[in-house]
Amino acid sequence: MGVAGRKRFNRVLIYITVISIAIVILLPFFWMLSTALKPEGDIFTWPPDWIPDPPQWHNFADAWNAMPFSRFLLNTIFVVALGMSAELISETLVAYGFARFRFPGRDLIFFILLATMMLPFHVTLIPTYLIWQKFGLVGEFDPLVLRAWTAWGPFYIFLLRQFFLGIPRELDDAAEIDGAGPIQTFFYVMLPQIKPALLAVGIFTFRGYWNDFLGPLIYLTDMNKYTLNLGMYFFMGGVNEQPQWNYLMAMSILVALPILVLFFLAQRYFIEGVTFTGLKD
């Protein structure tokens, strides 16, 4: 085998590996969909059937209606909308403050902010719960959304700050010479420059609130206020109950659907955001 032949052999080998890994990754998705479409009696067949026959599309509607999931969806949208918008606004402002202004203690404060990323969520969980209890807001949506105003995502502040740092100083100076104050500079000079970062943070916070489970689990007590994830937890059934797998898979797909759609629509920002947070130290 010549050099060219060996090169070609290597390429084929690489393609085979890359495609095999893709299949391994996709197989569970296929299994999820296949189970979701199976009639009740076909779930526990052995060997397992890969193709549901005939596909039971009504499983999706049946699962959705087995619990007040429409209500849960509304609750989830409420939490996501409030949390996400508050976080975007507050984090952008905080990041702007860290990136474009000098003040005593700034670097120390920013270091503390980064250090909070390493703090396990559960350490502050109980006192935080007690604070909300003092306010009389346990059982309401408030503990899930009010804190978003205090820019509680250090990762996103970090990401936005990096973007602000990348904007040339000359732009600020030019704006200042034209008589713009910090607020005008922010809206007319800064915001248009950091649009990709805002989109990335928007997507990540959306996903964060949509996927949140611990918050709803400890703060929401009334079934009328459950979010989708919390509803799923009870939909799963009791500890010793065998779950109804076709319904559970159907619901898993429905819960994942908005995120999947968002991913395909905004893939570029998703991937850019991921690489950005991973690459800048």
Partner 1 sequence: MSAYMATFLRWLATPVVLLAISLFLYWLLRKIGWQKKAAVGFALISPWLVGFLIFTAFPLFYSLYLSFTEYSIFGTPRFVGLQNYIFLFTEDLEFWPSVRITLLYAALTLPIGVVGALLVAMLLNNRIKGIGIFRTIYYLPAILPEVAVALLWRWIFNSESGIMNYLLSPILNFFGLGKPDWFGDPHYVIFAFVIMSVWGIFGTNTVIFLAALQGVSRSLYEAAEIDGASGFAKFIHVTIPQISPVILLQVVMGMIGALQIFTVAMFVRPTSAAGKFMNQLVYERGFTQLHMGEASAIAWVLFIIILILTLLVFRSSPAWVYYEAEVKR
- Say whether residue 134 binds partner 1 (CB under 8 A): no
Tell me which of 35, 59, 76, 205 binds partner 1, using CB under 8 A: 35
DSSP SS3 for 180: coil
Residue with smaller CB distance to partner 1, 43 or 55: 43
Tell me which of 6, 7, 8, 21 binds partner 1, using CB under 8 A: 21
x/- map, 236-275, partner 1, by CB under 8 A: x--x-----x--xx--xx-xx--xx--x---x--xx--xx
- C-alpha to C-alpha distance for 50 and 90, rounded to whole angstroms: 48
Q: Using an 8 Å Cβ cutoff, are 38 and 49 in contact?
A: yes
* Tokens encoding 97: 């403050």
- Say whether residue 168 binds partner 1 (CB under 8 A): no
- Say whether residue 7 binds partner 1 (CB under 8 A): no
**Minimum CB distance to partner 1, residue 101 (Å):** 3
- C-alpha to C-alpha distance for 124 and 152, rounded to whole angstroms: 13
Residue 182, amino acid:
P
- Say whether residue 41 binds partner 1 (CB under 8 A): no
Query: Which residues contact residue 234 at a Cβ distance below 8 angstroms, ignoring those fewer than 6 apart?
Result: 67, 223, 226
Tell me which of 31, 57, 187, 188 binds partner 1, using CB under 8 A: 31
**Minimum CB distance to partner 1, residue 192 (Å):** 19
Using alpha carbons only, give the angle 238, 34, 248 rounded to the nearest 5 degrees. 20
- The length of the chain is 281
- C-alpha to C-alpha distance for 157 and 110, rounded to whole angstroms: 10
Q: Using an 8 Å Cβ cutoff, are 160 and 194 in contact?
A: yes
- Say whether residue 221 binds partner 1 (CB under 8 A): no
Site for partner 1 in 181-220 (CB under 8 A): 182, 207, 210-211, 213-214, 217-218
* Tokens encoding 201: 């943070």
**Minimum CB distance to partner 1, residue 9 (Å):** 13
x/- map, 93-112, partner 1, by CB under 8 A: xx-xxx-xxxxx-x--x--x
- C-alpha to C-alpha distance for 126 and 218, rounded to whole angstroms: 10
Q: Using an 8 Å Cβ cutoff, are 203 and 153 in contact?
A: no
* Tokens encoding 72: 């849960």
- Say whether residue 114 binds partner 1 (CB under 8 A): no
Query: Which residues contact residue 137 at a Cβ distance below 8 angstroms, ignoring those fewer than 6 apart?
Result: 143
- Say whether residue 89 binds partner 1 (CB under 8 A): yes
Tell me which of 60, 69, 72, 141 binds partner 1, using CB under 8 A: 141
**Minimum CB distance to partner 1, residue 154 (Å):** 8
- Say whether residue 128 binds partner 1 (CB under 8 A): yes
**Minimum CB distance to partner 1, residue 88 (Å):** 12
The 8-class DSSP code of residue 152 comes to -
Tell me which of 6, 8, 48, 58 binds partner 1, using CB under 8 A: 48
Residue with smaller CB distance to partner 1, 43 or 199: 43
- Say whether residue 71 binds partner 1 (CB under 8 A): no
